[in-house]
Amino acid sequence: MTNNKLTNKNMLSATYRDVLRSLSRDEKRRLVRLTNYHGLLWLFAHFALIAFMAWASFYFTGFFGWLAIVGQGIGLSFLFCTMHECSHGTAFRTTILNKLISSFLGLLLFIGPRWFQYFHAAHHRHTQDPALDPELAISKPKTWGQYLFHLTGIMIWTSNLRALLFNAIRTPKHSFIPSSSQYRIKTEARLMLLTYTFIFTGAVILAPQYILQFWLLPLLLGQPFLRLFLLAEHAGCPHEPDMLKNSRTTFTNPLVLFLSWNMPYHTAHHSFPAVPFHQLPTFHQHIEKYTAVTANGYSTFHRFYAKRILNEKIPSC
């Protein structure tokens, strides 16, 4: 039972720190308890769904074949959420599991896992700070053309590949990367590029159609769905440090919750990042009454976005 020290009088003015202080030590301990079981089960189910879609895309042709490729692409693209959870060290209790899975998924998604870990840590430290949040380096769309282009994921692909190439060629100097980790990130990028060289050389010689059908094409087709999902996390939220206000919780269906590893509970995640994905629904119950920004589904959010931000009635963020 919640040991709620916040009164109705100060409920609306409560910050996420106030909410965290209102939780007892035992409640916090239960919320942050890590397991290998939940992560392994969730990951197995996620990969099983991708494998089923891959089988369907191989077995069927025409409309159903393309539908399966898109389904596989959605599953592959949303492995970004798995990598994100691993970057927090909360997907699994065992540290080596978090690192191994993050490294494999980073290779699959063309994202340097160690580089992303520092990038994302800076995002959490400076959420919605235009000067310091690295996620705001790519501005949110302000017109219909920018919105549609954003959904293609081309800007994200370009940004990730540029970071990978630049990190391999020169010492990374981003403000969010400590000098003690620069060499490791450079080595990581070089090893990834070397691995890609072997993979694509072998694919060209042996079976180029398979690497296209089961990896690259699905990733390209699944990316717009991931962009639709990720845009809802902070777009249109205030530029202020309180996590109860600068992040959006989106109420959605079990399939999206499964694919995204419960990340629609994004206010809960930003308010207490140490809470593992499988405990986010529980923690959400603690903070629901204080959560300032919500959306009743992703279609609702995108209608809001189209109506208010694309028409420039409120500042884009």
Helix count (H) and strand count (E) of the chain? 18, 2
CB 294 within 8 A of CB 232: no
Question: With a cut of 50, which residues of the chain have pLDDT below it?
Answer: 1-11, 314-317
- Rounded CA separation 132/109 (Å): 25
CB 248 within 8 A of CB 267: yes
CB 152 within 8 A of CB 224: yes
What pLDDT is attached to residue 308?
74
DSSP codes, 25-77: HHHHHHHT---SHHHHHHHHHHHHHHHHHHHHHHH--HHHHHHHHHHHHHHHH
- Rounded CA separation 102/116 (Å): 10
Conformational region of residue 234, where left means phi above 0, alpha means psi within -120 to 50, and beta covers everything else = alpha
Q: What is the mean pLDDT of the chain?
A: 90
Question: Across the strands, what pairs with 250?
Answer: 295
Closest to 272 in 3D by CA, of 9, 78, 104, 30: 30
CB 196 within 8 A of CB 134: no
Distances (CA, A) of 137 to 159, 169, 230: 10, 22, 15
What pLDDT is attached to residue 24?
92
Closest to 167 in 3D by CA, of 194, 193, 191, 185: 185
User: How many residues can be counted in the chain?
Assistant: 317
pLDDT tens figures, 265-305: 999 999 999 999 999 999 999 999 999 999 999 999 999 89
The domain spans of the chain are: 1-31+232-317, 34-221
Closest to 222 in 3D by CA, of 317, 305, 121, 108: 108
What pLDDT is attached to residue 310?
65
User: Phi, psi (5° rounding) for residue 265?
Assistant: -80, 60
Instruction: Provide the token pair at 294.
Output: 């919500």
What pLDDT is attached to residue 13?
66
Longest Cα–Cα distance of the chain, Å, equals 69
pLDDT tens figures, 31-45: 999 999 999 999 999
CB 281 within 8 A of CB 260: no
- Rounded CA separation 261/44 (Å): 13
DSSP codes, 168-229: HHS----TTS-GGGHHHHHHHHHHHHHHHHHHHHHHHHH-HHHHIIIIIHHHHHHHHHHHHH
What pLDDT is attached to residue 9?
34
| Coil/strand/helix, residue 157 | helix
Question: Across the strands, what pairs with 265?
Answer: 249
